[in-house]
Chains A and B, each alone.
Chain A
Amino acid sequence: AQTVTQSQPEMSVQEAETVTLSCTYDTSESDYYLFWYKQPPSRQMILVIRQEAYKQQNATENRFSVNFQKAAKSFSLKISDSQLGDAAMYFCAYRSNTGNQFYFGTGTSLTVIP
Chain B
Amino acid sequence: DAGITQSPRHKVTETGTPVTLRCHQTENHRYMYWYRQDPGHGLRLIHYSYGVKDTDKGEVSDGYSVSRSKTEDFLLTLESATSSQTSVYFCAISAGTGSNQPQHFGDGTRLSIL
A residues contacting B by CB (< 8 A) are 1, 6, 9, 33, 35, 43-45, 47, 50, 52, 91, 93, 96-102, 104-107
Contacts and interface: CB of A to CB of B under 8 A. Distances in A.
Nearest to B31: A100
Contacts of A91: 42-43
A97 B97 contact: yes
Secondary structure at the B interface, as helix, strand, loop or mixed, is strand
Contact of B108 (A43, A96, A106): A43
Interface residues of B, number: 26
Interface string B57-98: 011000000000000000000000000000010101010011
Interface string B9-53: 000000000000000000000010100000011111100101000
B48 A100 contact: yes
Contact of A97 (B48, B98, B104): B98
A95 to B, nearest CB: 8
A104 B102 CA distance: 12
A42 B104 CA distance: 16
B103 interface: yes
**Centre residue among A1, A96, A105, A106 by max chain B CB count within 10 A:** A106
A47 B102 contact: yes
Given A33-B100, A35-B102, A107 B33 contact: no
Contacts of B45: 101-102
